[in-house]
Amino acid sequence: MFAEEAAGEAAHAAAGWFLEHAWLIPVIPAVAFFLIIFFGKKMPKGGSEIGILSMVASLVIAAGTAYQWIDWSHHSEEPIIKSITWWQSGGLKFGIGQHIDGLAVMALLLVSFISTLVQIYSTEYVRGDRRYTHFFASLTLFSAGMLSMVLAPNMVQFILGWEIMGLCSFMLIGHWWEEEANSKAALKAFFTVRTGDMGLLVGTAMLLAIFGTLDIGGEGGINSLVANGEFDSKNMLMWAAIALFIACIGKSGQFPLHTWLPDAMAGPTPVSSLLHSSTMVVAGVFLVARLYPVFHTGLDINIAGQHFNFVAVIGGITILIAAALAFVQNDIKKVLAYSTVSQLGYMMMGLGVGAWMPAVFHIFTHAFFKCCLFLCAGSIAHTGSHHSFDMKTDMGGLRKKMPITFWTWIVSTLALCGVPFFSGFFSKDEIIDSAKHNHYTVFGIIGLIGAFMTAAYMTRATYLTFFGKARGGAAHFVDGHEDHSHDAAADEVHHDIDGLDTHLHPVHAAHDDHGHGDIQHGKPLPFAPSDSPWQITVPLIILGVLAIFSGYLNAAPFKWHYFEHWLESSMGLPFGEEPGMIPEPPTFSWVAAAPSIILVALGITLSWLISKKVFGEEKNGLQGLTQRNALLGAGHKFLVNKYYLDALYEGVIVKAIAHPIANAAYWVNQHVLDGIVNAVGIGGRRTGEWVYRNVDQRVVDGAVNGSGATARGAGGVLQPVQSGKVSMYGALLFGAAAVGALVLVLVNS
């Protein structure tokens, strides 16, 4: 039974084919997942061609949808909502379909585009992997889950896509599960996110109780009802928003549930890139943006006469704590992981301070430069650093040997830092400016401090990776000679950093067609002449270009507001000064942007100078300072141990909750379940013995033996009858006839 909902019949009549059939965007990769599973290993490319073709098809439809939405937005602000009834409970119908508006179109185009590039990149990065086919199947389903969630017209479909991503992230993070660290990271991610997901289920149930519907948009949807004040209790709405936001904290790696996200680097680098740029970790931010009226209205709190939104509080804390942790990481991917956590904090803070448009625009720009940075890290490990991600041990001096990777890293780093005229400047600076403009002064200051810290830790990572003297694995590549310091034990450690192990992934140990400077059969292989293969460098170039120019879709200094026009109707709340409305965005001013620009420049300069001193070859007072100064040493140890949050969670909370439960379950298993099973076994054995003695031996065997004895006795009695004498047989026959006649007489008398 079909049910279709839209902004009137005229709306559907005017909508184009792509807008009407956007539901195909997640369906195609979902179907491709099953094709890869069933037929992938029989395909020439191991099923990767199916995954890439499915993502290209989704990208084409998403591009067509975006084109038609741009035209649509010129004359209508109504979303295009279509659904079919999935199942029904009483009078409540739950549908599955599509909700097309500016926010959905942006995310559809972004996810399908990034996913396509990551799949192309992966064909080289995981080539020869023992689970190559399953990797592409999981990667394709992962994208399908995000696309399904983005399109969701109601919370039921939203949860479906949300949970598909959670499952796929578990499979992809633990792709190389033979290594204990990888399997533990996958379990940690799964359980941490599941903890937050309890809030999603509770919050969704509360929304149903408050509004009587789970539809998100359209007339009579949750956003519309909140915006019009059509609910009975703001207190109930607050608790629903808190429950939902707990899920967002877990999924988007916000404080205090951010600890899983850096550990997720155990997965292959393409997974890290996709997960951290445009899919799973953005899902929590997307939920806040999608149900913005719920969070904007429900989480507005008053502290000492100042209005704060709880979303902004968590986002502001996350910006600072994650940026600080990035300074003490030696693993290049973990630097980028904590950078992602910090940038997600900017997005959350932006949503909390009323900067909906800059926050969503930061989702858009961040996807390109962060995906590029992660893929650059993979390119370095794949080609230049002996499969290591350790910046201090195995990198340095790579800029001349890997020019494409170097320059795409540089432009993406400048975008991340918010340097003027790169994409990140146009989104992140608007968040900071909006915080100050909307009287969230504290959060404006937090944004400025975060900008300084971002510039500083990314400059440190850049220096360690591309400048200075080549070290360890990079020396193989840069200097062109065998580095004997790389013994087998060191190689084992380096491979474990990204789950790569030569005995598990032989292609990474050989690479005889790339020549990565590895040792095979005791002889050095030929060295790569330049950069990584085209499957890696082409996506880097495309993303690097977008890291520069994507910001110009909403460049406030030039009064270009295309992005704002296309997405304005998706906010759910109008701009204005009335309570509950979103404050009008500030007018751009270079004076207002000056503090951020100055702090970014200062962060880059100071970090460069300090990095040259600390990591240079010349001895100076900055080297070993944390070992000599007790206070600095304590601070460094505090950061290295990640604020001891893992120790708190695993050593205190898990131990206090999970261990007693496990012990109780073990006791029940040993004394109750095993007792019942043992008792049943003992009873069964005794019953069997009794049946054997009394029924089998005495009754069954007695009956059989008795029937045999009776037959034997009867045979002995009848034996004289069978004498062979005709006269005796005649007498017996006559006697039988006489008896028969007598019986007839008696019966008939």
- Rounded-to-integer distance, Cα 157 and Cα 173, Å: 24
pLDDT at 727 over 70: no
pLDDT at 138 over 50: yes
φ/ψ (deg, to 5) at 301: -120, 160
Least confident piece of the model among 36-45, 536-545, 651-660, 715-724: 715-724
**Are 651 and 590 found together in one domain?**
no
Contact 283, 149 (CB under 8 A): yes
The arithmetic mean of pLDDT across residues 712-736, rounded, is 67
Beta bridge partners of 83: 3, 97
The arithmetic mean of pLDDT across residues 35-41, rounded, is 92
**Confidence class of residue 510 from pLDDT cuts 50, 70 and 90?**
very low
The percent of residues above 70 in pLDDT, for the chain, comes to 87
CA dihedral 57, 61, 64, 70 (to 10 degrees): -140
The arithmetic mean of pLDDT across residues 436-454, rounded, is 94
pLDDT at 322 over 70: yes
Q: Name the residue among 442, 409, 268, 423 with its Cα closest to residue 343.
A: 423
Cα distances from 287 to residues 214, 216, 244, in angstroms, run 14, 11, 9
pLDDT in tens, 565-617: 999 889 888 887 777 788 888 888 999 999 999 999 999 999 999 988 888 77
Give the per-residue pLDDT at 62.
96
**Are 507 and 419 found together in one domain?**
yes
Which residue in this structure is represented by tokens 């990065």? 125
pLDDT at 4 over 50: no
**Confidence class of residue 333 from pLDDT cuts 50, 70 and 90?**
very high
**Are 555 and 653 found together in one domain?**
no
Q: In whole numbers, what is the pLDDT of the chain averaged over residues? A: 84
- The answer as to whether 322 is a domain residue is yes
What's the distance, Cα to Cα, between the start and end of the chain in Å?
Answer: 83
φ/ψ (deg, to 5) at 101: -145, -175
The SS3 assignment for 519 reads strand
Cα distances from 145 to residues 25, 105, 482, 596, in angstroms, run 11, 16, 45, 37
Cis peptide before 557 (omega within 30 of 0): no
- The answer as to whether 524 is a domain residue is yes
Contact 577, 413 (CB under 8 A): no
Q: What is the pTM of this model?
A: 0.82
Count how many domains the chain has: 2
- The answer as to whether 500 is a domain residue is yes
**Are 391 and 528 found together in one domain?**
yes
Contact 364, 427 (CB under 8 A): yes
pLDDT in tens, 631-642: 888 888 888 888
What residues make up the domain containing 623? 299-640
Q: Is 687 exposed, middle or buried (0-12, 13-18, 19+ CB in 10 A)?
A: exposed
**Are 651 and 504 found together in one domain?**
no
- The answer as to whether 3 is a domain residue is no
Tokens encoding 295: 């969070």
- Rounded-to-integer distance, Cα 258 and Cα 255, Å: 5
Q: Edge to edge, what strands does the sheet with 2-3 contain?
A: 2-3, 80-89, 92-100
**Are 537 and 662 found together in one domain?**
no
**Are 404 and 483 found together in one domain?**
yes
- The answer as to whether 204 is a domain residue is no
- The answer as to whether 715 is a domain residue is no
Domain boundary among 589, 618, 640: 640
**Are 650 and 636 found together in one domain?**
no
- Rounded-to-integer distance, Cα 349 and Cα 254, Å: 11
Least confident piece of the model among 33-37, 50-54, 414-418, 654-658: 654-658
pLDDT at 499 over 70: no
**Confidence class of residue 488 from pLDDT cuts 50, 70 and 90?**
very low
Give the per-residue pLDDT at 749.
60
**Are 663 and 631 found together in one domain?**
no
**Are 307 and 423 found together in one domain?**
yes
**Confidence class of residue 672 from pLDDT cuts 50, 70 and 90?**
confident
- The answer as to whether 528 is a domain residue is yes
At a CB cut-off of 8 Å and minimum separation 6, what does 472 contact? 385, 386, 388, 390, 393, 394, 395, 483, 485, 486, 490, 494
pLDDT at 748 over 70: no
Contact 27, 84 (CB under 8 A): no
One-letter identity of residue 177? W
Contact 412, 369 (CB under 8 A): yes
Q: Considering only residues 277 and 375, tell me which one the structure prediction assigns the higher pLDDT.
A: 375
**Confidence class of residue 27 from pLDDT cuts 50, 70 and 90?**
very high
pLDDT in tens, 650-671: 778 777 777 788 788 888 888 8
Give the per-residue pLDDT at 522.
34
Contact 371, 114 (CB under 8 A): yes
**Are 553 and 668 found together in one domain?**
no
Least confident piece of the model among 90-94, 101-105, 238-242: 90-94
**Confidence class of residue 481 from pLDDT cuts 50, 70 and 90?**
low
**Are 395 and 458 found together in one domain?**
yes
Cα–Cα–Cα angle for 576, 580, 586, rounded to 5 degrees: 40
- The answer as to whether 732 is a domain residue is no
Give the per-residue pLDDT at 673.
85
